[in-house]
Amino acid sequence: MAKNTSLTDIPALRKRARQHLDEGAVTSSYAADRAVVLKVLNESLATELVCVLRYRRHHFMARGIHSQAVAAEFLQHSNEELGHADQIAERILQLGGEPDFAPSGLTGRSHAEYVEGRSLVDMIKEDLVAERIAIDSYRDFIQYLGDHDSTTRRMMEGILAVEEEHADDLADLLESFPGDSTDARRSPKS
CATH number (domain holding residue 37): 1.20.1260.10
Domain range enclosing 71: 29-176
Residue type, 86: D
What pLDDT does 64 receive?
A: 84
What is the Cα–Cα distance from 175 to 143, expressed in whole angstroms?
32
What DSSP assignment string belongs to 102-155? Answer: -STTHHHH-SS-----SSHHHHHHHHHHHHHHHHHHHHHHHHHHTTT-HHHHHH
What pLDDT does 22 receive?
A: 63
Encode the chain (190 residues) as per-residue pLDDT tens digits.
Answer: 555 555 777 777 677 667 766 666 666 777 889 999 999 999 999 999 999 999 999 999 999 887 999 999 999 999 999 999 999 999 999 999 999 999 999 999 999 999 999 999 999 999 999 999 999 999 999 999 999 999 999 999 999 999 999 999 999 999 987 654 443 333 333 3
- Domains of the chain: total: 1
Q: Is residue 12 part of a domain?
A: no
Q: Is residue 181 part of a domain?
A: no
Q: Is residue 13 part of a domain?
A: no
What pLDDT does 20 receive?
A: 63
Q: Is residue 81 part of a domain?
A: yes
Largest Cα span, the chain: 77
What pLDDT does 146 receive?
A: 94
Q: Is residue 187 part of a domain?
A: no
Q: Is residue 8 part of a domain?
A: no
Q: Is residue 5 part of a domain?
A: no
Global pTM value? 0.83
Q: Is residue 23 part of a domain?
A: no
Residues 6+ apart with CB under 8 A from 37: 95, 145, 149, 152
